[in-house]
A and B are shown apart, each in its own frame.
Chain A
Amino acid sequence: MTPLLQVEGVAKFYGARVGCTDVSFDLYPGEVMGIVGESGSGKSTLLNCLAGHLTPDAGAVRFDTKTDGLRDTVTMREPERRMLGRTDWAFVHQHARDGLRMNVSAGGNVGERLMAVGARHYGSIRDTATDWLGRVEINADRIDDRPTAFSGGMQQRLQIARNLVTGPRLVFMDEPTGGLDVSVQARLLDLLRGLVREMGLSAIIVTHDLAVVRLLADRLMVMKDGHVVETGLTDQVLDDPQHAYTQLLVSSVLQV
């Protein structure tokens, strides 16, 4: 089987400071990988390098494109990478305002993404948008409201609808439940879990919350100071951590 994403020796520095370094892994179709580690460990830097938002200083990020197979997205031309960003990838930000257009209606936020990949028929765009609002548990009668009128949890669900409506093959998520109340988090996680399974999505989820990866991720990568210190099957890494840092991380939460 060809990996969907093949990451080799990726590094990113901010001046002399390490963002992330020496990161390599293969992600296979349908796999959900969690990246955990404390704040400042390089999770977001890595995710942004993988999603084409940051240019790594070293390494290759090969994506299995529909037409040409594995291609290094670091060296491909900008328009091509942007096209992949619209058709094949999705990026769910921690703060919904970074991933939504706050002055556009909920329906517009979802519809806009369909139009960006070529949908033109107004009626069917609106139908698809309504369907997706339903899938993320937003009432159809809110379709014309702007996200500014939504709660944090609803905004996040809308961001997910906007991202998944185009049927991406790989979803990047940066702390998707961060900043939400615990009860709201549970609902969002359950929803994400259902969508990931139903759509057979491949995903990379960055979080500092071990309960999130326990629920969503097949496998884990643990980062510290920009380095990957441990990888493995999610329940194995959490129940039988090998590295000193992972043991500390696992023992400092009550129970996951």
Chain B
Amino acid sequence: MIQVENLSKSFTLHNQGGTVIPVMEGAAFDVAAGECVGLIGASGAGKSTLMRMLYGNYLAASGHVRIGGVDVATAEPREILALRRETLGYVSQFLRVVPRVSTLDVVAEPLLRTGHALDAAQARARELLARLNIPERLWGLSPTTFSGGEQQRVNIARGFAYDYPALLLDEPTASLDATNREVVLTLIEDAKARGAAIVGIFHDEAARDRVCDRVIDAAAFTPGMAA
């Protein structure tokens, strides 16, 4: 489902003397449907950068990222947006909130823009918000004023509302209590069971051991650090 080939990345800081920071070289791996792969490596190894390149948020310097028939590394903006709508989900570490949109609508949106009926989309959104223990009195409010933990759970609900064939998860269990952590791990297991290909970053080792079928060490792709 996800095929990464010879992927490289460096940052050029034009306004800091043109400093070039090479962060990745020759990254290559595949993720099959129903499989969860964990990215590991020390802080700064390039885990988040790799995940952002898979999503098209960072531009690859060279190489390929093939997901659902699209090469994210070279695709046009509209092709990447269609891929993100239909195929590729991303639960980032922080919820980017749009002012004045209610929590229920934030969570239902991925379903509405893929043509699901309003009733069904909202029912699914309610189910997820309830499972993630967001109090019902908050559902009509914008998540702008929610606590960090609440925002993260809204973000997770949104990421799992639509059944994406491929999912990227950046620390989905960080700072969750035991109950909600368990809910998220179950959501991940369910997604795998329905055939989703997942790439995740988990600092929580027990969580990683439970849901990941294998791990990939990003340090193997860090220039100057490869074995």
* A219 CB to nearest chain B CB (Å): 4
Query: In the complex, what residue of chain A is closest to B12 when comparing beta carbons?
Result: A242
B210 on the interface (CB 8 Å rule)?
no
Q: Per a CB cutoff under 8 Å, which of A189, A193, A219, A244 touches B14? A: A244
B120 on the interface (CB 8 Å rule)?
no
A215 to B96, CA, bound (A): 10
Contact of A236 with B56 at beta-carbon distance under 8 Å, contacts A190-B99, A218-B78 already known: yes
Q: Per a CB cutoff under 8 Å, which of B57, B58, B99 touches A186? A: B99
- Contact across chains for B98 and A31 when beta carbons are under 8 A apart: no
User: For the side of the interface on A, what is the size category?
Assistant: 20 to 34
A232 on the interface (CB 8 Å rule)?
yes
B42 on the interface (CB 8 Å rule)?
no
Contact of A247 with B57 at beta-carbon distance under 8 Å, contacts A190-B100, A219-B77, A233-B81 already known: no
A218 to B59, CA, bound (A): 16
Within 8 A of B (CB), among A179-203: 186-187, 189-190, 193, 197
Which chain A positions have C-beta within 8 A of B14? 243-244, 247-248
Which chain A positions have C-beta within 8 A of B81? 218, 233
Which chain B positions have C-beta within 8 A of A219? 77-78
* A251 CB to nearest chain B CB (Å): 7
Interface string of B77-91 (1 = CB under 8 A from A): 110110000000000
Interface string of A225-256 (1 = CB under 8 A from B): 00000001111100110111001100100000
- Chain B, interface SS category: loop
B52 on the interface (CB 8 Å rule)?
yes
How many B residues face the partner with a CB closer than 8 A? Answer: 19
A219 to B100, CA, bound (A): 23
Within 8 A of B (CB), among A148-206: 186-187, 189-190, 193, 197
Interface string of B3-41 (1 = CB under 8 A from A): 000000001111100000000000000000000000000
Which chain B positions have C-beta within 8 A of A248? 14-15
- Contact across chains for A240 and B59 when beta carbons are under 8 A apart: yes
Which chain B positions have C-beta within 8 A of A239? 52, 57-58
- Contact across chains for B78 and A242 when beta carbons are under 8 A apart: no
Interface string of A26-61 (1 = CB under 8 A from B): 001001000000000000000000000000000000
Contact of A232 with B77 at beta-carbon distance under 8 Å, contacts A239-B52, A240-B59, A251-B15 already known: yes
B174 on the interface (CB 8 Å rule)?
no
Which chain B positions have C-beta within 8 A of A242? 12, 59
B130 on the interface (CB 8 Å rule)?
no
* B95 CB to nearest chain A CB (Å): 14
* A154 CB to nearest chain B CB (Å): 17
Query: In the complex, what residue of chain B is closest to A232 when comparing beta carbons?
Result: B77
> What are 9 sample pairs from A and B whose C-beta atoms fall under 8 A apart?
A31-B77, A215-B98, A232-B77, A236-B56, A236-B57, A240-B11, A244-B14, A244-B15, A251-B15
Give me the interface of B with A, judged by CB distance under 8 Å: 11-15, 52, 56-59, 77-78, 80-81, 98-101, 113
Give 9 nearest A-B pairs by CB, closest first.
A244-B14, A219-B77, A233-B77, A240-B58, A190-B100, A186-B99, A247-B14, A240-B59, A235-B57
